[in-house]
Amino acid sequence: MVQAAEYIRDKLEEEAILARAFSHSEERGTQDYGLVLVGHSLGAGTASILAILLRQDYPTLQCFAYSPPGGSLSMPAVEYTKSFITSVVVGKDVVPRIGLHQLESLRADLINTIKRSKDPKWKTIVCSVVCCGCASLPTSAAELKSEDSQMAEYLKAKEVAREVAVHPSDSSIALTLHQPLYPPGRIIHIVRHHPTKGE
């Protein structure tokens, strides 16, 4: 996304595309038009980065990012972009919610859960497929729900598993810890409203 945004910025500057667009029809006021960037998914991430790159030259620009990747910007960069980037997220769309940090946490949680399971590993994996006719909950999950002390122990182990020291040392499966990254700018979350019978 960064390379694409830099390429577009360089192309806009080298060919004076924006300068020509703003002077295209001065009798219609094109010189007073604002610059608006729009993108969807990876294009939204690219548009957001391009907005940051062009912001100094075009201080009034606005960017609308539809379903941008969740792993786009650090929190300080998100704060900086809130005045000129608006991200639009629809429903439960996974793209704006996922990044390397979230995938690493998921991996650590899965390894911890499998390690703590009292069931055979094959049963845990096979029963995760709904069609296989297993009980609704694996034995260890049912036991976990039954006692609060076990749940507290599980949550503590989950947090420990997410720390760097617990990551496997085998280079073929080891992970690096990435800084959490977020969707750019302000976020508008569009959800479907299901009216109740009284409405």
Count of Cβ atoms closer than 10 Å to residue 140 Cβ: 17
Tell me if residue 171 is catalytic. Answer: no
Task: Give the domain range for residue 124.
Answer: 100-165
- Residue of 48, 57, 87, 93 with catalytic role: 93
Supply the pLDDT for residue 165.
40
Q: What is the pTM of this model?
A: 0.67
Residue type at 184?
A: P
Residue 185 sits in the same domain as residue 93: yes
Model confidence pLDDT, tens digit, residues 41-78: 999 999 999 999 999 999 999 999 999 988 888 899 99
Q: Is residue 170 part of a domain?
A: no
Residue 83 sits in the same domain as residue 145: no
Q: At CA 99, angle to CA 98 and CA 104, rounded to 5?
A: 105
Q: Is residue 171 part of a domain?
A: no
- Residue of 25, 32, 41, 169 with catalytic role: 41
Number of domains in the chain: 2
Supply the pLDDT for residue 148.
62
Residue 110 sits in the same domain as residue 32: no
Model confidence pLDDT, tens digit, residues 164-197: 444 455 554 555 556 788 889 999 999 887 778 8
Alpha-carbon span 138 to 124, nearest angstrom: 7
Q: How far is CA 115 from CA 107, 153, 167, in A?
A: 12, 14, 13
Instruction: Give 177's Cβ-side CA count (13 Å radius).
Output: 10
Model confidence pLDDT, tens digit, residues 134-149: 555 555 555 555 556 6
Residue 185 sits in the same domain as residue 147: no
Residue 35 sits in the same domain as residue 61: yes
Model confidence pLDDT, tens digit, residues 44-54: 999 999 999 99
Residue 56 sits in the same domain as residue 78: yes
Tell me if residue 93 is catalytic. Answer: yes
Residue 151 sits in the same domain as residue 185: no
